[in-house]
A and B are shown apart, each in its own frame.
Chain A
Amino acid sequence: MTEMTASGCSESSCGSTADQLSHLPEHIREKVHNHPCYSEQAHHHFARMHVAVAPACNIQCNYCNRKYDCANESRPGVVSELLTPEQAIKKTLVVASEIPQMTVLGIAGPGDPLANPERTFQTFQALSETAPDIKLCVSTNGLALPEHVEELSKHNIDHVTITINCLDPEIGAKIYPWIFWKNRRIKGVKGAKILIEQQQKGLEMLTEKGILVKVNSVMIPGVNDKHLAEVSKVVKSKGAFLHNIMPLIAEAEHGTYYGIMEQLGPTQAELKELQDACEGDMNMMRHCRQCRADAVGLLGEDRGSEFTLDKIEAMEIDYSSAMEKRKVVHDNIAAELARKEEEKAQGVQFVSLDSLRKTAKPKPQLRSVLMAVATQGGGIINQHFGHAKEFLIYEVASDNVKLIGHAKTDQYCSGNNTCGDGETVLQKLIRSLDGCEVVLSAKIGYEPWEQLEEAGIIPNSEHAMEPIEEALLAVHKEMAESGALEEKTEAGLRATA
């Protein structure tokens, strides 16, 4: 048992409003507290990796292209090197030793893990024996799930992600052109209907066994966007723990059906609106980075190139000593998180609940502000503006900070003297931050500073190396005090003390 859970609390009234895990029972917190894909807080500190041992697939999705071999794309289903189970086991042990904060090993493709049961389970079995300190998880389209639930529960796999895009076979036929089922290829509505039934059955069987299920859904405007709120309700009622609605990625150069047919993905605002709408019913995941099936590192980073086959084959691993080192690292992170949680809890205690209730009615309606943050992990503002590969987007209110998504970017500064087409990259980046009023980074150059200001975004590097949430609240407070949040506020403002 880690210190983090020891100091945790299973009451929903405890902990900050920003902590999506605070309402969970203790045994689930214990399972997810260091899983970057299940806990938003964990994703700042703990890393994951995927091993690409599962090339075969039993269905076709219109957002996927099975010619998956591309080094420069970052999206699900893409890998550079297919691994044998033996290679995957070695790679996992190497990465776990080199990146001790790596807590999770997932098999997510590039096909469907359960369409490659021998390769998948051979990998899981060896790792559950050699590396019991690594969490194992699997991501599946669900078609072959019911027949494998028993086996999954044997290998210490307590996190399963099912991609469920619809409950209606008519909608399904627009997403899945065919499935392979009982030795036949079945197209259209008939195939989609079988897939949907298998997904739902698999979900029920897993939750019955106490295995944590996350449901991923791809939001495809005009296809399933109006339908996903219903999906969210149903999967929650069947015991899914977390719902991750992801935007469709569709580019013609990926060669996918949706890419070539110019199907549009949702805008950031459309995605957020749907996630907000589902949130009343379901615990929503908003920090997903839609990573590759061979990604390595913290979410949002990919250190896969440090661990190519030729490199890992040359390395010797003493896993039992690595495990000791890993335990120290994990305990330190857990202690740090526990300390932060305690500080937060103490902060809350300064104001009694009663006094809040009394004054809460005419609460001043200071508007919330979107802010972008450059971080390289640790929950700290510790990335240089020009070196950021992505920005986390937070919605900040006077008493609450909520991660709502991220903006990916080409790095605008490559770190040397020649800036190439740096200006256009910068312009593109600024466009992707549209809607944000503040950008916080550890440092920022003079030129981007000017251009951000021109675009109406305030650059801020005063909170370098500070924890993200605290810094964002401080900035919101400064904005409130300077009157910057009053223009759009509604009547309630008069009630301010």
Chain B
Amino acid sequence: MALQIVESCVNCWACEPLCPSNAIYEAKPHFLIDAKKCTECDGDYADVQCASICPIEAAIVDSQGVALNPYGSLTNIPLEKLRQHGIIDKLAA
């Protein structure tokens, strides 16, 4: 059980100090989660902390690769608009 930070991360540091397991660390080209340390906040918080403050949709995924904050969930921008402006494709590429 561990979460993962993927390439759409913008390195904003917001998640790093929140992690109760100190599993998040600065790396290039983007922050990473130490899978051995990550507990998905089980036992510490009701909500997963990194994914609760992360401002970037689809930047944090679970072990199945499913985004904790799917496209459109944080900005309320409709999916068709995200596609129309190439935002989904650009990030998925």
Contact = CB atoms under 8 A, between A and B. Distances in A.
The judgment on whether A and B are partners is yes
B55 A55 contact: no
A64 to B, nearest CB: 9
B10 A177 contact: no
B12 A56 contact: yes
A384 interface: no
B13 A56 contact: yes
A355 interface: no
Contacts of A56: 12-14, 53
Contacts of A261: 77, 81
A177 B81 contact: no
B93 interface: no
Contact of A183 (B12, B52, B76, B85): B52
A260 B77 contact: yes
A255 B77 CA distance: 10
B76 A177 contact: yes
B85 A255 contact: yes
B89 interface: no
Interface string A234-249: 0000000000000000
A11 to B, nearest CB: 49
Interface in B67-93: 74-77, 81-82, 85, 87
A245 to B, nearest CB: 25
Main secondary structure of the interface of B (DSSP, over half): loop
B55 A60 contact: yes
Interface stretch (A66-74, A125-133, A221-229, A274-282): A66-74
Main secondary structure of the interface of A (DSSP, over half): loop
B11 A257 contact: no
Contacts, number: 63
A454 B85 CA distance: 39
A188 to B, nearest CB: 10
Contacts of B53: 56, 58, 180, 185
A252 interface: yes
A177 B56 CA distance: 13
B27 to A, nearest CB: 15
Contact of A260 (B11, B18, B85): B85
A185 B77 contact: no
Contact of B75 (A60, A82, A111): A60
A184 B52 contact: yes
A87 interface: no
A55 B12 contact: yes
Contacts of A178: 74
A185 B12 contact: no
A253 B93 CA distance: 19
A57 interface: yes
Contacts of A177: 74-76
Contact of B12 (A66, A180, A260): A66
Interface in B46-61: 46-47, 49, 52-53, 55-56
Interface residues of A, number: 26
B14 A57 contact: yes
A115 interface: yes
A261 B81 CA distance: 8
B14 A255 contact: no
Interface in B30-59: 45-47, 49, 52-53, 55-56
A365 interface: no
A185 B52 contact: yes
User: Which of B13, B85, B87 has the most chain A CB atoms closer than 10 A to its own CB?
Assistant: B13
Contacts of A66: 10, 12, 55-56
A180 B50 CA distance: 11
B75 A257 contact: yes
Nearest to A252: B85
B72 to A, nearest CB: 10
Contacts of B45: 183
Interface of B: 10-14, 17-18, 45-47, 49, 52-53, 55-56, 74-77, 81-82, 85, 87
The 7 closest A-B pairs by CB, nearest first: A56-B14, A66-B55, A55-B12, A185-B52, A180-B53, A56-B13, A55-B13
22 contacts: A55-B13, A56-B12, A56-B13, A56-B53, A62-B75, A66-B12, A66-B55, A67-B56, A69-B10, A111-B12, A115-B14, A180-B14, A180-B52, A183-B46, A183-B49, A184-B47, A185-B47, A185-B52, A255-B85, A255-B87, A257-B76, A260-B81
Given A82-B11, A255-B85, 17 more contacts: A56-B12, A56-B13, A56-B53, A57-B14, A58-B53, A60-B55, A62-B75, A66-B12, A66-B56, A67-B56, A111-B12, A177-B74, A178-B74, A183-B52, A184-B46, A184-B52, A185-B53
Interface of A: 55-58, 60, 62, 66-69, 82, 111, 115-116, 118, 177-178, 180, 183-185, 252, 255, 257, 260-261
